[in-house]
Amino acid sequence: MKDLIIQTENLSFSYSKKKHVLKKVNINVPKGAIYGFLGPNGAGKSTTMQLLTGILSSPEQNISVFGKELNSQMPHVFSKIGALVESPSLYLHLSGTDNLRCITQLKEVSESKIPEVLELVGLSENGNEKVKHYSLGMKQRLAIAMTLLGEPELLLLDEPVNGLDPTGMTAIRELLVKLNKEKGITVFISSHLLAEVEKMCTHIGIIHKGEIKFEGTMQALSDREQGCNVQIETKDLKKHIEV
């Protein structure tokens, strides 16, 4: 569908015959959305991200980006995509500006974009500092700045707030909402933190043990949660009923 930036159809993946990581995963990311891809560690989030970015190759042609099959667009499709999968790769002995300068050469974009992206991520005053002196949150924002150099239409971010303190999480959240609203960038963000995702996402997909358990708007998830049940297992039912 033309209004879907990302679409997968029965996406499955195995590292071995005995280890099925993804099982018929269907993802539908609308254009202009902030889509939270939520699940516990080991659920299949990073594997999905690696398939969406071509790090891993799907044996089936069942991943579409911008309305076309992904493999048929490689590698030029990444002129429209900014991706941050797992930990950012930064040159700690270089300044933030010099790290960005390396990316401009790789992406063949003008260095004149560097002040703009530093401004967007709130690092204008830290561009000349060596990255080894950056906090973890500043490193994450610099990594996001790297993804913005090519003026992408889509951002793919794998656990961008992982390990950050509440202040750092807030800064990243506000940045992504800003990029979405002001630049019109569609954001696909994986996370295991529901409380953080629900503060910024318009749509959500929940994955567990390689299977999609829910997909829809945050409002639809909220409505569904009204009927939540909790199941408790105990070895001594009579004793614990009395308690």
Q: For position 171, what pLDDT does the model report?
A: 87
pLDDT at residue 34 is higher than 70: yes
pLDDT at residue 223 is higher than 60: yes
| All structural domains of the chain | 4-80+152-242 (3.40.50.300)
Which comes out higher in pLDDT, residue 14 or 1? 14
Q: Give 177-219 pLDDT, tens digit per residue.
A: 999 999 899 999 999 888 888 889 999 999 999 999 999 988 8
146 token code pair: 């790297």
Q: For position 86, what pLDDT does the model report?
A: 74
For residue 130, give the 3-state DSSP assignment.
strand
Q: DSSP string of 45-109?
A: HHHHHHHHTTSS--SSS-EEETTEESGGGTTGGGGSEEEE-SS----TTSBHHHHHHHHHHHHT-
Helix ranges (DSSP H) in the chain: 45-52, 96-107, 114-120, 136-148, 166-183, 194-197, 218-225, 237-242
pLDDT at residue 227 is higher than 80: no
Q: What are phi and psi of 2, to 5 degrees?
A: -65, -25
Q: Give 228-242 pLDDT, tens digit per residue.
A: 677 888 888 888 888
**112-139 CB burial, b ≥16 within 10 A, e <16:** ebbeebbebbbbeebbeeebeebeebbb
